Structure 1
Amino acid sequence: MAFDVRTDERTTTVDVTDRVSAAVPEDASGVCTVFVEHTTAALVVQEDEPRLRRDIVSFVRDAVPDEGHAHDELDGNADSHLRATVLGPSVTVPVRDGELAFGTWQSILLVECDGPRTRTVTVTTVDR
């Protein structure tokens, strides 16, 4: 199952937990892998708290400078590729009785590094 996420800023976060949960079969127990089909966006499991979400954006901006990368000669978004590389394109979450088995406060956040864009997120559940 896949769904689209529209972002409205160059670097931002979007909570996709509810959409991922809706894609998990009701009777599933196993693992759920969530994958963003783009090289300039990422997924993380983290707390969905507004100040922390701003901190994530600040972290990726501070970790990778906006300019000075070889790929910028091609299309000017090397920083976005590198920021997404640091975070990664996928997360895996256990599933118990059709529910994502998160720890306290955990959510799935899409981290947009080159927006605004429409991103495709794929959800695959493997039942045990």
Structure 2
Amino acid sequence: MAGTFTTRTVTLATGATETMHDLTNACSAFLREVAHGRNGLLNVFTPHATSGLAVIETGAGSDDDLLAALRDILPADGRWQDRHGGPGRGGGHVLPALVPPHATLPVVDGELRLGPSQSVVLVNSDRDSSERAVRLSFLS
């Protein structure tokens, strides 16, 4: 039997602050529609220069800790050569090197198989764009 590939783009309202958005429910809903009990891989990708994807525990403080660590590593000051978006914004363009813009996750029997405390999140450092796209692709 030949494999199948299905893809869809989800748009998120991210507001005007550095944020994390939990995508786990959107990923699970997508798989319920397209996986039909099959095994495969879910690829999650965001096509933005100032966003990334992480698999992390949420709700226990780790999400805030990740944002704080990224602010420490990539401070919004004038040290960056990349001036796209204005002074102090260059660090956001380095974010995808630390938090990659993609994640590939296992799908077993049509369901996303994460650990008990894991969630898939969009990490967004852009304060100027109020919307982000995330592409979900299932390959079986």
Asked whether the two chains share a fold, i.e. TM above 0.5, the reply is yes
What does 1:1-128 correspond to in 2, within 5 Å? Answer: 1-24=8-31, 25=34, 26-67=36-77, 68-72=79-83, 74-76=84-86, 77-115=89-127, 116-127=129-140
Deviation at 1:84, TM superposition (A): 2.9
TM-score by length of 2: 0.84
Aligned pair count reads 126
Q: In 2, are the aligned partners of 1:84 and 1:113 still within 8 Å (CA)?
A: no
Q: In 1, are the aligned partners of 2:54 and 2:123 still within 8 Å (CA)?
A: yes
- Report percent identity of matched pairs: 29
Give SS of 2:56's match: strand
Q: In 2, are the aligned partners of 1:35 and 1:89 still within 8 Å (CA)?
A: yes
Give SS of 1:75's match: coil
| Greater share of residues in helix | 1
Give SS of 2:37's match: coil
CA distance in 1, matches of 2:116, 2:24: 14
Instruction: Answer with 1 or 2: which has the greater Rg.
Output: 2
Deviation at 1:2, TM superposition (A): 1.0
Please report the RMSD computed on the Cα atoms of aligned residues, expressed in angstroms. 1.4
Q: Deviations over 1:73-128 (max 9, x none)?
A: x432211111232111011110011100111211101101113521110011110x
CA distance in 2, matches of 1:99, 1:50: 24
TM-score by length of 1: 0.91
Give SS of 1:122's match: strand
Q: What amino acid is the match of 1:71?
A: D
Q: In 1, are the aligned partners of 2:15 and 2:131 still within 8 Å (CA)?
A: no
Q: What amino acid is the match of 1:102?
A: L
Find the counterpart in structure 1 of residue 3 from structure 2. none
Unaligned runs of 5+ in 1: none
CA distance in 2, matches of 1:28, 1:123: 16
